[in-house]
Structure 1
């Protein structure tokens, strides 16, 4: 297949989780013999060097007055490349997309419930535009790939063929972290992003309050009020943040999903934690993790303080201090498994 990967809500000018997911998916598809090119309307035409070997065609979106014309230019470039299928990382309506999707079979990847997430970050005007135009995009897609069962249910009313595929990771790109030294203090690590309130950084800080003898490293997210044992490192590339993960006892997943009125997720950062062998505590149901898996400790998905959970978390940390998650336990998260299913679905849509 000749696949045009159309990105939205992704800044490919720098290293970030979404950017790493896009290139990881594309590499798997190219490795299976498919031709893939990435297209996007973005603030800048700068491309992160880690996106290679994926070819990217980026159109600078320009000022609000230029955006409609630039969107049509992006559509023109996609048509000129003559893809068999478009894989669309759904974000919002852009000029020209409905006509493009009617002309070329398009599968939309659904990463969130936009009706509940966007009010947290969009301006009132942008939110109104989105609500008025979202159906024009979604109804012209040929199929959906929701990343969770919850999203599958919420978008089911569109009546599209769907394949639920949680986020994966290239396990062979990671080595299981060494065991912490005997007697080393408990270290917890969290990777977040700025302006993403559903990451729940304040609850990460609350873990630092509950465990004052532990060291809590926060990467990427903005600083919030926290005790002295919580360290905010800001945005770091992988070569600088991975040593913090390698030294950790356990990692922290998403803790504020309730803000999006969601309960299920499959965060990219959690796949990275698990690829390094780190057990995870998180405030959500993970799409790919069995309910009885001890390497994932689920805490309530609410804004309530974590004090009632302290003894349970302490016992769990005690069990995992000096242990790592076996690679066999997370083999189902590998891209070799995930992308084979995704490609099979894309081929099914194309045949239909």
Structure 2
């Protein structure tokens, strides 16, 4: 197939989203498909900075000189969509793929010309409550216009897809995957007797549940909690002595933290955005490094495993601390073998996605989800 990927993600930041997109594209090409990558983002075409995704970069020279932010990004999309349209007209893809995002003038007229499939990663109307009023109102106003212009939906969890059951287009759950070839499971390099738990997140993501993680650290003072992606100066709540903030780390620095960790910590606030069952890239990365995980939601792929543990009840309160401590003690010296998590290898997930693409491209009813 000829596949066009419209990427509305910052190519200058080596984020988990960029890693996922690169993985998808690599596998699609490896399976013999021709992929066009259209990166629509401020400074994409004018900066000399390192770009973490290859493709055709689309931005505006004038806007690229102005302060960056929501309005600049939005204007870049409005102006750049014409170049996207021209590129698609020349390439003539069988399927256009785009991640769930905000409506802007010109977008829907382009999407409706092709077999467009949109990837859903969040319960959007709940997540929008955490954004500015302007962004929220524009997003919600344009949401149905985008949905009326596409041919299929792929969601990472059933908790997301259930909100679209009345939409009469093909739909599929394909949870997140990770390229296991890139990871080496190593023995713990920490020479001290301490038990280290690591959380990797980003500031201003309320659904990560940092408040719950800090509460857990207070309940478990005998364990060390290492927080990556947050700066201590931005945390207003009291912090116990067993919590260390690392801020933003490079991939090499983060790998060093993983090598000294015993367990990973997943998000504890996903219920704020309507996801009691989820598939998150951070959990997959922990597992790929060999770390057992405790978190506040069910995992799509590992809800029955003995190395991924939901540490909260149905009301999102912590289970008895003795039960949580038992999981930590039983798994603190464990390293997860790649064969135990091979179902989330990217190659397996992308085969599912590509089969759905082919069904949509050929108007063949897709098979039912196994979720």
CA contact (8 A) 1:257 1:283 kept: yes
Find the counterpart in structure 2 of residue 6 from structure 1. Answer: 6
Q: Is 1:98 the counterpart of 2:108 in the alignment?
A: yes
**Relative to structure 2, which stretch is displaced further, 10-19 or 175-184?**
175-184
1:262, CA displacement in angstroms?
A: 2.4
SS of aligned partner of 1:112:
coil
Shift of 1:55: 2.2
Corresponding residue for residue 267 of structure 2: 254
Q: Secondary structure at the match of 2:227?
A: strand
User: Which of 92, 96, 101 is the matching residue for 1:86?
Assistant: 96
Q: Which stretch shifts more, 17-26 or 75-84?
A: 75-84
Secondary structure of the residue that 2:247 maps to in structure 1? coil
Q: TM-score, normalised by structure 1?
A: 0.92
Q: Which runs of 5+ in 2 are unaligned?
A: 64-71, 364-371
Deviations 1:233-284 (A, max 9, x none): 1111211111111211100001111221321211101111111110000111
Q: Secondary structure at the match of 1:27?
A: helix
User: Which residue is 1:318 aligned to?
Assistant: 329
Q: C-alpha displacement at 1:343, in angstroms?
A: 0.9
Are 1:201 and 1:221, in contact at CA under 8 Å, matched by a contact in 2? no
In 1: Cα distance, 2:212 partner to 2:75 partner: 41
**Counterparts of 1:80 and 1:95, CA distance in 2:** 21
TM superposition score normalised by structure 2:
0.87
Match of 1:32 in 2: 31
How far apart are 1:305 and its partner, in Å?
6.1
**What are the Cα deviations for residues 168-203 of structure 1, in whole angstroms up to 9, with x where unaligned?**
000011011314568621100011012211011122
Tell me: CA distance 1:197–1:28, structure 2 relative to 1, closer, same or farther (3 Å): same
Count residues with an aligned counterpart. Answer: 346
* Aligned residues of 2:108 and 2:145 also touching (Cα < 8 A): yes
- Indicate the SS of the match to 2:290: coil
2:59, 2:76 within 8 Å by CA — same for their partners in 1? no
Q: Trace 1:60-75 onto structure 2 (pairs within 5 A).
A: 60=60, 62=63, 63=72, 68-75=78-85
Counterpart for residue 107 of structure 1: 117
Query: Secondary structure of 2:161's partner?
Result: helix
Matches of 1:299 and 1:59 in 2, distance apart? 44
Aligned with residue 76 of structure 1, among 86, 94, 99:
86
Q: Please point out which of 144, 164, 171 is paired with 1:155.
A: 164
The answer as to whether partners of 2:118 and 2:154 remain within 8 angstroms in 1 is: yes
Q: C-alpha offsets along residues 270-321 of structure 1, whole Å, 9 cap, x if unaligned? A: 1111111100001111111132x11011022789664x53111110011112
Could you say what secondary structure the match of 2:104 adopts? coil
CA distance in 1, matches of 2:50, 2:145: 31
Unaligned runs of 5+ in 1: none
SS of equivalent residue, structure 2 residue 149: coil
1:130 to 136, 139, 143: 139
Q: In structure 1, how many angstroms separate the alpha carbons of the residues matched to 2:317 and 2:362?
A: 51
Checking the alignment, whether the CA contact within 8 Å between 1:206 and 1:305 is kept in structure 2 is: no
Change in 2 beyond 3 A, CA 1:256/1:60: farther
8 A contact 2:60–2:79 mirrored in 1: no
Given that residues 103 and 146 in structure 2 are in contact (C-alpha distance below 8 angstroms), is that contact kept between their aligned partners in structure 1? yes
User: Given the alignment of the two structures, is residue 268 of structure 1 paired with residue 281 of structure 2, yes or no?
Assistant: yes
Distance in 2 between the 1:66 and 1:200 partners? Answer: 32
